[in-house]
Structures are given as structure tokens and as C-alpha cells.
Amino acid sequence: MSQASLPSSVVPGDWLGILGGGQLGRMFCHAAQSLGYKVAVLDPDEHSPAGAVADLHIQAGYQDEAALARLSERCKAITTEFENVPALSLETLADNVRVSPAGAAVAIVQDRIQEKAFIRKAGVPVAPYVAVRQSEDIVTAPDTLFPGILKVARLGYDGKGQARVSSRAEAMAAFEGFQQAECVLEAMLPLASELSVILARGYDGKVALFPSAQNEHRDGILAVSTVDDSLLDASLAGQAADAAVSIAQALEYVGVLCVEFFVLRDGSLVANEIAPRPHNSGHFTMNASASSQFEQQARAMAGLPLGNTDSLCPVVMLNLLGDLWFAENSGTAREPDWAGVLAIPGAKLHLYGKAQARPGRKMGHVNVLGATLAEARVRAQQVAQILGIEFRP
């Protein structure tokens, strides 16, 4: 896109819109409002976290034509907070208003079969896999895919819709358990670590990259993200950044994008999946970067210059799941010791305003800052002990 053909900037004071009312939308609202924008949220939940802080909450389904029309009439630019919003809704909105990311890009990421093929076509390695559309695809799958992981092609997240399988028989049983929904079967690889790259890309094609985060998952849910230059080999970090930019450019992506990677024991890198939105592993940017991922989301969709992504200090991000609201073993409801957490120097608490805590539900996060990585880890260990979170410095 040439500079002459770029859309004009949406200036502070105007309206920005977002599809989705979860915590990512809530944090986007805060960032956009701090820049002076008014924000409209379209979400069916009367008590959505984003709807509670937005300037306007349009309570309706994502395919409600009247609601989409109302959103596009009010807003100068619209984005999404999650990848499973109907791509057709984004395309419908794009008939009348600027939408980023585009529905076509989101449609690719919504389907693991399309997503993996797209990543590979962009020149980025992925784990060996086959598309599973019928049981025969498991029968004919290469032996090298076992042991493997069977993942539903659509609507899976945070470990849901996934099954580890050591044999064809187990894969067949899992496929039946998923009601024969389309899946991908991918080989389990010898992992050394996991990392993610968060970037923002503007309408002018310019890209701003945040430092890579090293991630630890438990039960398929992100538990800890750690960011410091000393964590990753510079060459490996460069490979991951280049791969993420290649994917964003191939998608002609505008907005904030996350690419998750596996680092294998031999030092090689493979892409796991793409998130067409701000990402849990990028929450560290709220306190440890010159610009947060949510501010970048607002800047990109508004056509403004992207912000500076320099790291301010080492940081450890701890996810807060609903389990913390229940006493261990007894299951008795309790309120976590927030005063104790906030007494730790460098601890920055972010709660998402969800009324009901449930085990496994993302309720908030804590960014723990330090002058050095060692200091951040010591402080994170103190926070984890107060809350009863498993943490290995």
C-alpha cells in the first residue's frame, strides 16, 4: 500500500470499536481511552469485562446485522479481541468502515488446517502433520506422527480440543471423542522451550516487534512468561522475529499479532500457532515496555505511528487462574491476598473484573519487575508463594 493510498488517521476523540468483550477487550479499552478515544464494544454478555469499562456496550451477537450496522455507524475503525469472531462479520463491517485485522486473515487463523498450510507456505517450519477430515486420514497417517497430538481444527484454545495420542487406535478414539470434527494430527517433538513473538504492523507495512517471551504452560494454559535479553540466544531470537514478520507480511496483516514457537532440543525453531490479536504472553508489555500491546492495537487500527517497543526492565508475568479463589483441598471460596502481593516491590496487579471465579478461568495476571532478571524472579517467587502458585525460578 502506497503512502498516498493510506487511510487517514482516526484522531483521538473519535470512536474505535471492538468485537468481543473479554479481558483482552477490557485492556484494549483502557489503552484506547488513555489515548483519548471513545470505545464501543459489541458482545452478547451483559456483564462482559470489556463492556463494563467501554463508553458504549452493544449487547448483541456477533452476527446480529442491526448491531453490526450500529457499530459501523458509530466507529471510525474496528478490531477484534479474539480469533473465533465470525470472519464474515468482519467482512460485513469492512463494507462501511476500516477493519483490522481483515476478515480474510482471521479466517485463515480460525482453521488449524489452513493455518499450518499458510505458515509453511510463508517459509516458516511447522511440526510434521496431516489434516484429519475422516477416519481414513488417521489410518494412512505416517508412522512418524506417533506419538502425536490430535487437535480440533476450529474453536480449540487453552488446551481444549486437544488429545495426546501414542497410537492410531488412540488417535481414532480421540477423533470419535471430538465427534469426528476436522482435526490436525501433528507429531510430538522433543521440546527444549516455548517462546512467543508479539508484533504490531501498520497499514503502511511498518512493523514494531516486542522482545520475545519465554513461556511455560500447564494443562494447556499459559502459566508464566519471562522476558529478558539474557534468556534467548540472539540468533534464535532473530530467527523467531524474522519468521513472525514473514507471516504477518504474507497475511497482509494490520494490527497486533502473536506467533507461538517451539524451540527443539537441537536448537531449531518451529511455529506452533498464530493469534490474530494481543496475546496472554504479551501482557508483560503493560508495565515493562515503552508501549503496551494494547496501545499498539489502538495505534495500528487508527492509522497512527506505532509506538516504541523498547524493554524497560526484566519481567516475569504470572497468570492468575480461578483456582486461586478456592482454598486448596477444601474448595472453600476465598479472596486471594492482594495486599500481600502488592507489598512486593515491582509487583503490578491486573484483575479482569470477572464476577465469578472458576478453576482454569483467567481472572488476571501479575507483572513482576526487577532491575535484573534474578531480582524479578526472586520477587515473582515471593508473589507465587503468597498466592499458592507453582513457580520455579
Asked whether residue 157 is marked as a ligand-binding residue, the answer is yes
Asked whether residue 218 is marked as a ligand-binding residue, the answer is no
Q: Where is the domain boundary, 48, 82, 99? A: 99
Q: Is residue 301 part of a domain?
A: yes
Q: Which residues of the chain have pLDDT under 50?
A: 1-5
Q: Where is the domain boundary, 99, 119, 152? A: 99
How is residue 221 written as a grid cell? 494454559
Tell me: do 350 and 328 sit in the same domain. yes
Asked whether residue 187 is marked as a ligand-binding residue, the answer is yes
Tell me: do 341 and 374 sit in the same domain. yes
Give the number of domains in the chain: 3
Q: Is residue 137 part of a domain?
A: yes
How much is the pLDDT for 43?
98
Tell me: do 183 and 213 sit in the same domain. no
Query: Residues in the chain, how many?
Result: 393
Tell me: do 227 and 341 sit in the same domain. yes
What range defines the domain where residue 254 resides? Answer: 191-387
The structure's pTM equals 0.95
Q: Is residue 115 part of a domain?
A: no
How much is the pLDDT for 2?
35
What number of H helices and E strands is found in the chain?
12, 18
Q: Which residues pair with 315 in a beta bridge?
A: 227, 369
Tell me: do 321 and 241 sit in the same domain. yes
> In what helix (H) or strand (E) does residue 373 lie, and over which residues does it extend?
helix 373-387
Asked whether residue 159 is marked as a ligand-binding residue, the answer is yes
Tell me: do 269 and 321 sit in the same domain. yes
How much is the pLDDT for 159?
60
Tell me: do 239 and 342 sit in the same domain. yes
How much is the pLDDT for 4?
36
Q: Is residue 160 part of a domain?
A: yes
Asked whether residue 160 is marked as a ligand-binding residue, the answer is yes
Q: Is residue 117 part of a domain?
A: no
CA distance 87 to 72: 15
Q: Is residue 204 part of a domain?
A: yes
CATH code of the domain covering residue 215: 3.30.470.20
CB count, 10 Å around CB of 6? 13
Asked whether residue 194 is marked as a ligand-binding residue, the answer is yes
Q: Is residue 116 part of a domain?
A: no
User: Helices 293-302 and 23-34: crossing angle, nearest 10°?
Assistant: 70
Tell me: do 380 and 330 sit in the same domain. yes
Asked whether residue 273 is marked as a ligand-binding residue, the answer is yes
CA distance 388 to 367: 16
How much is the pLDDT for 383?
98
Determine the straight-line distance between the first and last CA of the chain, rounded to whole angstroms.
46
Report DSSP state, residue 51.
Answer: T
Asked whether residue 158 is marked as a ligand-binding residue, the answer is yes
How much is the pLDDT for 1?
35
CB count, 10 Å around CB of 203? 20
Tell me: do 223 and 81 sit in the same domain. no
CATH code of the domain covering residue 69: 3.40.50.20
Q: Is residue 234 part of a domain?
A: yes
Asked whether residue 156 is marked as a ligand-binding residue, the answer is yes
How is residue 18 written as a grid cell? 471492538
Tell me: do 205 and 326 sit in the same domain. yes
Asked whether residue 186 is marked as a ligand-binding residue, the answer is yes
Tell me: do 141 and 244 sit in the same domain. no
CATH code of the domain covering residue 172: 3.30.1490.20
How much is the pLDDT for 157?
64
Amino acid in the structure at residue 295: E
Asked whether residue 301 is marked as a ligand-binding residue, the answer is no
Asked whether residue 151 is marked as a ligand-binding residue, the answer is yes
Q: Where is the domain boundary, 162, 187, 212? A: 187
286-303 burial code (b ≥16 CB/10 A, e <16): bbbbebbbbbbbbbbbbb
Amino acid in the structure at residue 167: S
Tell me: do 180 and 318 sit in the same domain. no
